[in-house]
Structure 1
Amino acid sequence: MLNTSTQAADTLHTTLKSARVMQSVRFHGPGDIRVDEVEEPVCGKGQVKMRPAYVGICGSDLHEYTAGPVLIPEHPHPITGSTYPASMGHEFGGIIEEVGSDVTHVSPGQRAVVRPTIYDGTCCACKQGKYHCCENIGFIGLSGFGGGMSQKIVAPAGHFYALPDNVTLEAAALIEPLAVAWHAVAVSPFQPGDSVLVVGGGPIGIGVVQVLALQGAKKIMVAELMDNRKKLCTKYGATDILDPREVDVAQRVHTLTDGVGADIIFDTAGVEGALAGAIPACRAQGAIVNIAVWEKAPVIPVNKLTYNEVRYIGSALYDEGSFLDTIRAISTDQLKPADMITARIALSEVVDKGFQALLDHRDQHCKILVDVQS
């Protein structure tokens, strides 16, 4: 049995440890994101404590900023119990600082990436092993367990994956969005030699272009408006860039494919007019894969899908296999995300030089990284 002085010392140590404060970027409401001082989390059994390094600002983060709460819970999340104000940032890696006594797959001092998807393990989708389709899906950085835009984070150990030595911490911040792209190609009927149209050349669209080029697409056509994104798509393997202001996208696709049409269309834009214009570009018995998260439900010309027996497929996030495949592809230099990074900013600059820059100067940016420790 511990003597009382030892017990008192342990209590004092725990109190001091939990009383530490840190900075965290938190959502308080639409247009209201603040760098707050919050209590530093304490690592317990089955948990890992990380010092985040670089964090990507995602399109879903922008949706929260402009129109949230969307995925951020207004009422206690069924898994985490969290509500807003919520710590943000779900595309990140960092340095492991501490692990629970029962954690063996990562260790202090190790570099790691976070897979942010939170699932309950009990719903019908989870029982089928489709954890990324969980009925109560949540995300670190949106739904609880803190977020990467914090000086420290503690979460269940299963969210942390050790990084190969040659994967930088900057690249780690691109693993999550590239896994979205990898999974979308994996769930599609894509075959090497296919001709593909990608609608939207943002970070996910550029990721899809990279994966398609790696896996042997014959033609990679991208419908995009912004010059900087056109250049990045070309750099990463796009064979043809189609500006909808200058050409009829469907007609141009048919011309480029000798009248056949695209075997597969990947929609990363989530814009009704762009989707309606792209559907006629698909060949008979082709497929359209939706990756976009739509802010409001679109009107879809279903008859055009029916008459040509075009399959419309949803791609939700990524499974663990796609996440691990993405890490391996970066490690083996098959995916090279460095050129997607268009700015690096400090935690204190996250609103003006991060969120607002992406909203006001989208034509200048692809992926902005927040350097949490700067």
Structure 2
Amino acid sequence: MRAARYYGRNDIRIDDLPEPEVGPGQVGIEVAWCGICGTDLHEYLEGPIFCPTPETPHPISGETAPVTLGHEFSGTVYAVGEGVDDLEVGRHVVVEPYIIHDDVDTGPESTDYHLSPDMGFIGLSGRGGGLGEKIAVQRRWVHPIADSVPLDQAALIEPLSVGYHAVQRSGAKAGDVALVGGAGPIGLLTSAVLKALGVTVVVSELSPLRRQKALEAGVADHALDPRETDVVAAVRELTGGRGADVAFECTSVQVVLDTLMEALRPTGVLVVVSIWGHRSEFDMFTLVMKEIDVRGTIAYVNSHPATIELVESGKIDLAPFITGRIGLEGLVEEGFDTLIHRNETAVKILVSPSGRGL
């Protein structure tokens, strides 16, 4: 089978690999679609971050570079290993792509397995990835989805789960006003979760395409261009002078962080969703004087079932966020280069490792 492999910074190659063996307790998945994530771009430009190096294996997977990329993917079960009796061949599934030590409690009541030591991700830290034609995954991390959800849309359930967990961390509730800084894939999907909960959403975004997507998809009530609109003043006007109840930083850009801090009401909540590759200059004075509550968020924890329910019930429509579909051979030129150099022209680009469906 073919797979896109990460060898190091600026070095991704399409290799021919043996198909994975489906062992006891595992599920064999034929990948239908895999999204390109901002984390993949960070690895390509600045990594390795979650990816191992050729000299340093990941402490859980034991793998060194090269590793297969891709952690936002959907597919169809083609085989089940010994002991797996609750999934059948042909079932549509998505993957919660964790690599976690075996002694960590990952049960349904756990709220912190995603913060456990050495945590890694399938498709970044080893154990195959969604940018390969097939993958074998432990049953715990495989989530069935209804056939009514198209597999291309299902590939967005993983990043939607990121938004779901971020909203959980914020404590946002119906009737609140949220300001989302950045309408890239995570900003838009976080907005989708907020709207599904009855929150009024204001998006600040430079890209006309992404502002239009936010409005057309119905995930934002207001989409502002910060070059033309005083975002802080606009939010205060919309809230009777109070400011936003919650804000989500989805860009890792300093000016966006500063805007959110200023636009929040006193005792408001700021959730930092983006992965910062550098230190920020944080406004400690505003933090203290407004008693802002700052919360980090990473990935998801037992979030997939509730996220899948939002999609299956029709409360969230993922179709508008798919702006491109490519084959594996176009991964770098059509996928990575577009999202790195022309990201204002795209939201989510999906890859078909097999080429079927294109």
Instruction: Judge same fold: TM > 0.5, yes or no.
Output: yes
Q: After superposition, where does 1:161-310 map in structure 2 within 5 Å?
A: 161-217=143-199, 219-235=200-216, 236-310=218-292
Query: What whole-Å deviation, never above 9, does each CA across 1:156-208 have from its counterpart, x for those lacking one?
Result: 22121111121111111000000110111112121211111000000111111
Q: Cα RMSD (Å) of the superposition?
A: 1.7
2:7 aligned with 1:28: yes
Contact map agreement 1:123 1:135 (CA 8 A) in 2: no
Distance in 1 (CA, whole Å) between partners of 2:103 and 2:279 is: 29
Q: 2:25 corresponds to which residue?
A: 46
Distance in 2 (CA, whole Å) between partners of 1:214 and 1:367 is: 20
Q: 1:91 corresponds to which residue?
A: 72
Query: What whole-Å deviation, never above 9, does each CA across 1:115-161 have from its counterpart, x for those lacking one?
Result: 10222254699996411112211111001110011111112221211
2:331 aligned with 1:350: yes
Distance in 1 (CA, whole Å) between partners of 2:76 and 2:222 is: 40
Query: What whole-Å deviation, never above 9, does each CA across 1:318-340 have from its counterpart, x for those lacking one?
Result: 111x2111111111111100110
SS in 2 for 1:39: coil
Q: 1:120 corresponds to which residue?
A: 101
- Correspondence for 1:79 among 56, 60, 64: 60
Question: Structure 2 stretches of 5 or more lacking a match?
Answer: none
Relative to its length, the structure with more helix (as a share) is: 1
Q: 2:136 corresponds to which residue?
A: 154
Distance in 2 (CA, whole Å) between partners of 1:270 and 1:359 is: 14
Aligned partner of 2:153: which letter? A
- Correspondence for 2:346 among 365, 369, 373: 365
Relative distance call for 1:163 and 1:317 in structure 2 (3 A) is: same
Aligned partner of 2:99: which letter? I
Q: TM-score, normalised by structure 2?
A: 0.94
SS in 2 for 1:303: helix
Q: CA deviation at 1:41?
A: 1.5
Distance in 2 (CA, whole Å) between partners of 1:291 and 1:340 is: 19
Distance in 2 (CA, whole Å) between partners of 1:144 and 1:232 is: 34
Aligned partner of 2:167: which letter? V
Query: What whole-Å deviation, never above 9, does each CA across 1:41-88 have from its counterpart, x for those lacking one?
Result: 211112121110000000001111111111101211111111211100
Relative distance call for 1:225 and 1:305 in structure 2 (3 A) is: same
Q: 1:17 corresponds to which residue?
A: none
Contact map agreement 2:94 2:144 (CA 8 A) in 1: yes
* Percent of aligned pairs sharing the same letter: 38
Q: 2:49 corresponds to which residue?
A: 70
SS in 2 for 1:221: strand
Contact map agreement 2:188 2:219 (CA 8 A) in 1: no
Greater Rg by CA? 1
Query: What whole-Å deviation, never above 9, does each CA across 1:308-327 have from its counterpart, x for those lacking one?
Result: 1110011121111x211111
Q: 2:16 corresponds to which residue?
A: 37
Distance in 1 (CA, whole Å) between partners of 2:202 and 2:70 is: 31
Contact map agreement 2:181 2:205 (CA 8 A) in 1: yes
Q: 1:134 corresponds to which residue?
A: 116
Q: CA deviation at 1:25?
A: 0.3
Aligned partner of 2:60: which letter? I
Distance in 1 (CA, whole Å) between partners of 2:13 and 2:31 is: 18
Query: What whole-Å deviation, never above 9, does each CA across 1:196-244 have from its counterpart, x for those lacking one?
Result: 1000000111111111111111x31111000010011112231222222
Distance in 2 (CA, whole Å) between partners of 1:292 and 1:156 is: 28
Aligned residue pairs, count: 351
Contact map agreement 1:125 1:134 (CA 8 A) in 2: no
Q: CA deviation at 1:292?
A: 0.8
Aligned partner of 1:186: which letter? Q
Distance in 2 (CA, whole Å) between partners of 1:60 and 1:255 is: 35
SS in 2 for 1:265: strand
Relative distance call for 1:121 and 1:316 in structure 2 (3 A) is: farther
Relative distance call for 1:343 and 1:128 in structure 2 (3 A) is: closer
Contact map agreement 2:111 2:301 (CA 8 A) in 1: no
Distance in 2 (CA, whole Å) between partners of 1:252 and 1:107 is: 52
Contact map agreement 2:244 2:265 (CA 8 A) in 1: yes
- Correspondence for 1:335 among 307, 316, 319: 316
Contact map agreement 1:106 1:160 (CA 8 A) in 2: no
Q: TM-score, normalised by structure 1?
A: 0.90
